[in-house]
Amino acid sequence: VQLQASGGGLVQAGGSLRLSCQASGRTLSSYHIGWFRQAPGKEREFVAAISRWSGGTIDYAEFVKGRFTISRDNAKNTVYLQMNSLKPEDTAVYYCAAKGSPSYNGIYYSSYYAYWGQGTQVTVSS
């Protein structure tokens, strides 16, 4: 499956952005999907994940709980990351990824994901 992340941009602190992760090649509904981010000089870190099919299981990193919302629209073959109350420390390249196995285990770890989008830059100014 090929993933295309989009929706990044420049926003002031307190603002909002919605990132999209669209799939081609295969239906996205059969994959657990995660969002990760990487800031300059830092390691890639987990942001959020949603389970496959109906997306009944969702997980967030502590630092985005209450501000970010992950969702999926299987009809559009797309997973979204709604980001509200953005902070300058949210500045990073955001990546979506699809897990390679049916198991939800390991959802927090980038090494468990088999397919990655190209990333979209999010910059939050103070």
**99-112 pLDDT tens trace:** 989 999 999 999 99
Do the Cβ atoms of 46 and 109 come closer than 8 Å? yes
Name the residue with higher pLDDT: 55 or 10: 10
Rounded Cα–Cα distance for residues 60 and 23 (Å) = 22
Instruction: Give Cα separations from 105 to 17, 30, 102 (angstroms).
Output: 28, 15, 9
pLDDT class for 26, splitting at 50, 70, 90? confident
Instruction: Map tokens 């980038």 to a residue.
Output: 110
